[in-house]
Amino acid sequence: MPKYFSLIILFLLASINTVQAQFGFSHEVGVIAGPVAFQSDYGVRHDFKTNAGNTGIGVGLVHYLNFSYRADCNCYTPETYFNDHFKLRSEISYSKTKLNHFGEWVTPEKLAKSEESRKLKAMEGSTAVTDIGMQLEFFPLSIRDFAATDGSFAPFISLGGHFSFYNPDVSTSYGNGKLIEDNVFSPKYWVPSDGEAHGFTNNGGSVWSVVASVGTRYKLTPLSDLMLDLRGQYYFSNWVDGLNPNPAVYKENKANDWNIWLNFGYIYYLD
C-alpha cells in the first residue's frame, strides 16, 4: 500500500502541475477532520446506540481547481456558468473506526440468558480506510461573488468517486479468544470449512466507492475559507469492516458497508 500511495501522490502532483501549466487555473489547498459514523455488520440497523458507538475519526488533505480565476495572469477566467459554479476537488484521507455490537441482541436481559448474545458482546473490531479520489462540487451561488465578500457563505453539493484501501481487524474476548475455534465465535460470522466467501476476515483489500456530500464554505479572509461538509460514502464491498454474513442465510445482511463523515475544514487560496 505505501508504494501505491506514493505513486498516486506523485501522479496527482504531476497532473496538477500540468493543468496549471496548460490552463492556468488557480489552486486551493486545505485540511479536513471530523467524526466518521461507520455503518456495518456490527450492531443493529437504524439503532442509535450502534450509530453513536461505532464512530471513529477521519483526517485528510484536499486540493481544489478553481476555474473562475487564472493564476498565471492574476485575472478572472471567461465568465461562463461552469467557471462560476463548479470546482474540482481532489482528496487524500484516512479514517479509523472502532466497531462493537450494540442494540437489542446484546441487552443485559439477552446476555443473562443467551450464550450467542455473550459471543456477540465479546466481539470487537476496527477498520482503517485510506481514500484517494475526486469530487465535482457545484455551488448554486456565484463563486466570484463569494470570493469578493468576506463573511459570506457558499453552499455546495458534490458527487465523485474514491479508491479505498481498507484494513479490518476482528477479534473476540470470549473463551480463550482464539478466532480459529468456532465455539468462541457466533456462527453468523464464522467462515465454514467449504471456503464460502462469507463470515469474517482480517485481510485488507481495496475497493471503489461513490461519495456524495452537502456543505458550505464561510469566507474568513480574502485568501482563506472555513468549510463544513456532511458526506456519505458507499463502498462496493461488504468486507470493509471485516464481516460479511451469508446473505442467503441471514436476510438482514442487505447492504454493503458505508459511512457518514462530518468534515470541518480550512481552505487556503494559493497565489
| Better pLDDT: 138 or 176 | 138
Q: What is the pLDDT of residue 193?
A: 47
DSSP character string of 103-158:
SGGGSHHHHHH-HHHHHHHHEEEEEEEEEEEEEEEE-SS-HHHHHT-TT-EEEEEE
Position of cell 485540511?
31
Largest Cα–Cα separation, the chain:
74
Residue 174 CB coordination number (10 Å)? 20
- pLDDT of 183 above 80: no
150-160, pLDDT tens digit by residue?
A: 999 999 999 99
Averaged pLDDT, 233-261: 88
43-69, pLDDT tens digit by residue?
A: 777 776 777 888 999 999 999 988 876
Q: What is the pLDDT of residue 131?
A: 94
66 within 8 A of 143, measured Cβ to Cβ: yes
pLDDT-based confidence at 182, cuts 50/70/90?
low
Phi then psi for residue 89, to 5 deg, are -105, 125
pTM: 0.85
17-47, pLDDT tens digit by residue?
A: 554 444 556 889 999 999 999 988 887 777 7
